[in-house]
Amino acid sequence: MKHTIATPASLLIASACLLFASVRTDYDKKADFSKYHTYSWIGVKASNSIWQGRITQAVDSALAAKGWSKVPSGGDAAVSAIGKTSEKDTMETFYDGFPGWGWRAGWWGGGMGMSTTQVVPERVGTLTVDVFDGNTKQLIFRGQATDSLSSNADKNDKKMEHSVEDMFKKFPAHATN
């Protein structure tokens, strides 16, 4: 029988995966997405006009890749996007004790060791994109992405672009090409 032991490198890779955006999507399974070829924007809300433009551009690119065309008004579908920033507290606990063992040292008779916990505030960005049927005004698709924000606007822009790409990967539209 073979046993697998988690190496520090594999744990680092697993924890790094947790840093990527959380993307969730849902859509109306009864909607006939083959009838949607055009879309119009209802609006984009974000903390400033720079981010409104970035969100609009990212969603426009994703929908164009699905074969949809943007029209000024009266599209087969209507799109709305809201970007917001919030702050959440994260608890980080560090353990020490027998060198190299941390909290586990107590299990081996080496003493209990010490732990230090601190609260770390974290800025979190959330982007929600809704697509509605242009005639019935019924919601047919919702994508939501949440990710930790950096103090670097370029990094946040890349995170948002990747999140929108992930959001529309399984978008149920059929390309018209």
Mention every residue, 6+ apart, whose C-beta is less than 8 A from residue 39. 63, 68, 69, 70, 71, 75, 76, 77, 78, 79, 131, 134
- Read off the pLDDT of residues 154-176 as tens digits, 9 standing for 90 and up: 887 898 899 999 999 989 865 44
Residue 63 CB neighbours (<10 A): 23
Which pLDDT does position 8 carry in this prediction?
38
Distance CA 118, CA 123 (A): 16
Which pLDDT does position 111 carry in this prediction?
52
For residue 98, name the pLDDT band (cuts at 50, 70, 90): low
Q: State percent of the chain over pLDDT 70.
A: 73
Which pLDDT does position 138 carry in this prediction?
97
Taking residues 115-138, what's their average pLDDT?
A: 86
Decide if pLDDT at 122 tops 80. no
DSSP, res 149: P
pTM: 0.70
Decide if pLDDT at 101 tops 80. no
Residue 19 corresponds to which tokens in the numbers above?
A: 């840093």
Taking residues 41-58, what's their average pLDDT?
A: 93
**Rounded to a whole number, what is the largest CA-CA distance in the chain?**
73
List the domain boundaries for the chain: 21-87+121-167
Between residues 124 and 82, the one the model is more confident about: 82
Decide if pLDDT at 104 tops 80. no
Task: Calculate the average pLDDT of the chain.
Answer: 79
- Read off the pLDDT of residues 2-43 as tens digits, 9 standing for 90 and up: 444 433 333 333 333 334 579 999 999 999 999 999 999 999
Which pLDDT does position 149 carry in this prediction?
73
Q: Among 64-73, 77-86, 132-141, name the one with the lowest average pLDDT.
A: 77-86
Fold adopted by 21-87+121-167: Double Stranded RNA Binding Domain (3.30.160)
Which pLDDT does position 160 carry in this prediction?
87
- Strands (DSSP E) found in 9-156: 22-27, 38-45, 69-70, 77-96, 114-133, 139-148
